[in-house]
Amino acid sequence: MKTIGLIGGMSWESSVEYYRIINEEVKNRLGGLHSAKCLLYSVDFTEIERYQAEGDWESAGKSLGEVATSLENAGAEFIVICTNTMHKVIDYIEAKISIPVLHIADATANQIKKSNITTVGLLGTKYTMEQDFYKSRIESNGIRVLVPNDIEREMINKVIYEELCLGNIKQSSRDYYKEVIKNLVTNGAEGIILGCTEIGLLVKQEDSEVPLFDTTEIHAIESVNKALKYQVV
């Protein structure tokens, strides 16, 4: 079993889910008292969020690059960034280490292709929905990506940072997300990417008439696939 290096804390609410899913998946596959070999470095999200708000992605990237270096030095054999948005700075992280980074968008695109879906809606932070670093990675797999309109994007982002990252789950916000999903489906989406690792805390499959691709679950399970690559399961 390979040792997984988790960069967490962005927010810790979803990092908890990564840890739970990874360990449950290892236990389910190997049985008994098996659990995952992993190292978790949880950052102070206030510092990272400030870099995001200021558009200082270089500083954010250098900070997470140092975290990844610490994980590699501690014995991690590959890195999992437990957030969608901060894959924007993956180049800074990869430049600091000699071990691979398991990209969340690649894992998600592979899952979408297995479902024979060619058009998806994308929910996430405003950075993930509006900038190219994530959408282009999905689209390079022959998948069309739709995003909500300007007003919807602002509200989706507000709910993420002011509610979900703080552990506040509100029915009114769930209802709003459900309406946004309906609008995306009306515009042609055959599935929806929950492209923020906190959204799966709010929206479940029963809230959508089309398949939901929960990036937290997909990424966590793919990390187990990689960790057990040489393990007969």
Residues 15/6, Cβ–Cβ less than 8 Å:
yes
Residues 6+ apart with CB under 8 A from 125: 84, 85, 157, 160, 161, 196
165 is catalytic: no
> Among the options 165, 196, 215, 216, which is catalytic?
196
- What DSSP designation does 164 have? G
> Among the options 38, 82, 83, 128, which is catalytic?
83
Q: Is 102 left (phi over 0), alpha (psi -120 to 50) or beta?
A: beta
186 is catalytic: no
- Here the tokens at position 59 are 């500083």
Positive or negative: CA dihedral 173, 177, 178, 183: positive
Terminal-residue alpha carbon distance, the chain: 11
Please list the active-site residues: 83, 196
